[in-house]
Amino acid sequence: MRVAKEVAVEGGASDPRNGIMLKIFSMVNFGERAGSGLCSICNVWERVFHTAAVIEETEDIDRVILTLSYGGHEQDVDAMLRLYEAKGELIVVGDPGRYVNENETFE
């Protein structure tokens, strides 16, 4: 990561890898340079599943792995949707009427 892991989780520090993509998303009101993305993901995950996100960096700075475990809980998509909708942060990708289970992958 280009900022310290602790700073990224705390939020408020923005250092995007691809400034052009950030600008494109900003132009369609789909992003802001607030540095709150990882912080929001971690906070919502902990509130819903009561487990902390695990962030790992590889030796080379090119890869960051974010592990979000269910902690033995059932996947509760409706609870997550309520949390996001309350803050206006829901991002829908693909068919908004279709939920993805943990065994599916996309290419």
Number of domains in the chain: 1
Domain-embedded: residue 44? yes
For residue 96, the model assigns a pLDDT of 47
Domain-embedded: residue 89? no
Instruction: List, in order, residues 6 or more apart from 13 with CB less than 8 Å away.
Output: 3, 7, 35
Domain-embedded: residue 66? yes
Find the domain containing 31 and state its range.
5-72
Domain-embedded: residue 103? no
Domain-embedded: residue 34? yes
Model confidence pLDDT, tens digit, residues 6-63: 877 787 777 777 778 778 877 887 666 666 678 888 888 888 778 888 888 887 767 8
Taking alpha carbons only, the member of 46, 98, 48 closest to residue 74 is 48
Contact 70, 49 (CB under 8 A): yes
Please give the C-alpha separations between residue 88 and each of 30, 83, 97, 106, in angstroms, as whole numbers.
12, 9, 18, 25
